[in-house]
Structure 1
Amino acid sequence: MSEVCDETEVLELLEDQYARAIILATSRSPMSASELTDAIDASPPTVYRRVDDLQRCGLLAERTEFVEGGRNYSVYAARVERVSVDFTDGELTVTLTERDDVPTDETVAERFTRLYEGLR
């Protein structure tokens, strides 16, 4: 669970149709905000707001795609594979299972290596 979002916030976010659509779309392959706008039929401001919320709660990873000529852009990938909700002894517990195939926070060195390899 994210240190910023509690269980209730995660559930409220997943209740939102656009947030769910972003998670579903990015669980198939990383997508840019522009691609998400088309894929989920939402306005760019709506996509960016939901992307920010999903990242804040640890449900979405961001990676910079480096393009020759300097027009770099971000792509987003779902970090979560499963969300479990448990009601035990009067307590609500939300457990997030992260995907193994989504890189999280790259270091500067890793980013540089990816950029360099992309230029070869």
Structure 2
Amino acid sequence: MVPAPAPSDDGPSPEVVLEALDDEDCRTILQHTAEPMTATDLIDACDISQSTVYRKLDRLCAASLVREQDRINPNGGRVTLYERDFEDVTISMESDDTFAVTIDRPPRNAGERLADIWSKMGDEL
């Protein structure tokens, strides 16, 4: 596969988004992630193998279609939850004849924004 060109901003390239949406397993995962789910829950709900679920979640996260959140597990350690992170995806043609992608996201409250920051900090450790 040819790598997608770098996007002009911090968002994913149209190619990355379209490849994720064109994938049947990715679409199945998106249908089940209206509410946060663990990868284990997704394996059961989607009837997809463990290695495939993790590959598809990586693809969906790279396309900014799924949000990964780490939560502290009361029994120790962290648990990672995945949730669909868009309300609408628009692919458009720019004035310079290039494609652009716009991803409309649901509003986040202060607690969700703080959880996102905490999750990203955990990745740095």
Pairwise TM-score range, normalised by the shorter structure: 0.7 to 0.9
Give 1:77 deviation, angstroms. 0.7
Selected match of 1:62 from 59, 63, 68: 68
For residues 31 and 51 of structure 1, the distance between their equivalents in structure 2, rounded to whole angstroms, comes to: 11
Length, aligned pairs only: 109
Aligned partner of 1:25: which letter? H
Secondary structure of the structure 2 residue equivalent to 1:80:
coil
Identity of aligned residues (%): 28
TM (norm. structure 2) is 0.72
Is the Cα contact below 8 Å between 1:4 and 1:56 reproduced in 2?
no
For residues 116 and 53 of structure 2, the distance between their equivalents in structure 1, rounded to whole angstroms, comes to: 23
Is the Cα contact below 8 Å between 1:33 and 1:47 reproduced in 2?
yes
Check if 1:41 corresponds to 2:47: yes
Residue 58 of structure 2 corresponds to 52
For residues 16 and 62 of structure 2, the distance between their equivalents in structure 1, rounded to whole angstroms, comes to: 10
Q: CA RMSD in A?
A: 2.7
Aligned partner of 1:34: which letter? T
Q: As a proportion of its length, which structure holds more strand? A: 1
Alignment of 1:1-120 (within 5 A): 3=10, 5-27=12-34, 29-87=35-93, 90-101=97-108, 103=112, 106-108=116-118
Give 1:40 deviation, angstroms. 1.1
Gaps of 5+ in 2: 1-6
Farther off after superposition, 4-13 or 84-93: 84-93
